[in-house]
Amino acid sequence: MLRPALVAIGAFFTLMLLYSFGAGAVSYISEPPAATVEHEFHLPPKEVAFSFNGPLGHYDRQQLQRGFQVYKEVCSACHSLKFVSFRDLQQIGYNEAEVKAIAKQWAIKTPDVDPATGEMSTRDPVPADKFPKPFANNVAAAAANNNAIPPDLSLMTKARHHGSAYVYSLLTGYQPQPAELLKKFPDAATPPGLNYNPYFPNLNLAMAQPLVAEGQVTYTDGTKPTVDQMAQDIAAFLTWTAEPKLENRRSAGLAALVFLAIATGLAYAAYQNIWRDKKH
């Protein structure tokens, strides 16, 4: 008795599933979803070659230092790096003395407590400190940025699909709204205070174009600071802040694959040697 009942229940749910699938397909064909401006004009990230692309890729320390310079001189006024310490910069080629100087000369001071009075105060950052936040709190951040709170950039390339390419595309993607968009979607004009960028999911964002002209940053290694170059460099730097152990992880993975390949060969050879005379 139990088996027929279970078969009947299974058949019922299968039929309901097929009915739901068929009804959904018919509905989609007869009444397709209305076109949206985001669906038609949102663009996938641009293709860009980074040294760390691919399973054997690695960071270009010079590029990371240039990217840090872009962050320091352009991005740090609004965006924080709350998971990164000044001393972490030694991983991208700065020595201890340089890290101490960078921390001491940082434009934003670190909140602290006066040990004599117990009152809040500020002090120069030290290498052990995280990068100071540019705003005291979210209210201050929103007030200074058209009611939009600038996101922390520490893990930005991990939080976005095609993270490195997304950051690069966003920074180089600011443009006027296409006439075709306004003609097809007259109500989709970019609101005042926002900026059109087809690489942003809803096409309009509060952040004004941060990289506006060649020479905005002066690179110490002599690299020409075009907008495209600065965008690539900051995208690479933010990839490092999100994945500082990327090279170690890939090296460990490669070593594991080599070990498994050797172990597999030895195991097969042992199998052949042990069972060679026992095959019929």
Could you tell me if 195 and 206 are in contact, meaning their C-beta atoms sit under 8 angstroms apart? Answer: yes
108 and 197 co-located in one domain: no
Residues in the chain: 280
Q: How far apart are CA 195 and CA 205, in angstroms?
A: 5
Residues 190, 142 share a domain? yes
Do both 157 and 229 map to the same domain?
yes
* 92-143 pLDDT per residue, tens: 999 999 999 999 999 888 877 767 777 777 888 999 999 999 998 999 999 9
Q: Are residues 75 and 183 in the same domain?
A: yes
Give Rg (Cα) of the chain. 27
Count up the domains in the chain and report the number.
3
- Nearest residue to 236 via CA among 72, 48, 67, 90: 67
Structural contact between residues 149 and 26, judged by C-beta atoms closer than 8 angstroms: no
Same domain, 258 and 235: no
Q: Give the residue numbers of the binding site for heme c.
A: 75, 78-79, 207
User: In sequence order, which residues have a C-beta less than 8 Å from that of residue 214 and are 6 or more positions away?
Assistant: 224, 225, 226, 227
Contact of 241 with 83, CB cutoff 8 Å? yes
- pLDDT at 277 exceeding the cut of 90: no
Q: What is the pTM of this model?
A: 0.84
Six token digits for residue 262: 């050797």
Q: How far is CA 227 from CA 113, 196, 198, 211, in A?
A: 41, 18, 18, 6
The pLDDT tens digits for 225-271 are 999 999 999 999 999 999 999 999 999 999 999 999 999 999 999 88
- Annotated binding residues, as ranges? 75, 78-79, 207
pLDDT at 256: 95
Reply yes or no on whether the pLDDT at 4 is more than 80: no
Is there a single domain that holds both residue 196 and residue 269? no
Q: What pLDDT score does 122 carry? A: 80
Of 129, 154, 186, the last residue of a domain is: 129
